[in-house]
Amino acid sequence: MKSITLANGKTIEVECLSCAVTSGVAEPEGGTIIETEHFHAHQDVAYPVKGLVILASKRHILCLDELTEKEGLNM
């Protein structure tokens, strides 16, 4: 488990920050930008930077070439 301090000052214990965001445990400032079957777009929950958007896969991958064809098209 990792301790992550969010932009709102709250500290959470998580295995995976992206999983915490997509499951609603951690709420990014400004909320979710867009959510699809395979991806979740939001600002960084710890260091929100104006104009920076994180596109997180809802499945753990190490590299984009691990995406299925359906996931790639969805991205």
Q: Which domain holds residue 42?
A: 2-74
pLDDT at 68: 96
Predicted local confidence at residue 37, as pLDDT: 95
Cβ(51)–Cβ(33) below 8 Å: no
Confidence class for position 11, pLDDT limits 50, 70, 90: very high
Question: What are residue 3's DSSP bridge partners?
Answer: 13
pLDDT in tens, 26-61: 988 888 999 999 999 999 988 889 899 999 999 999
Residue 71 pLDDT exceeds 90: yes
Domain count, the chain: 1
DSSP string, 23-56: HTSS--TT-EEEE-SSEEEE--SSS--TT--EEE
Residue 47 is predicted with a pLDDT of 87
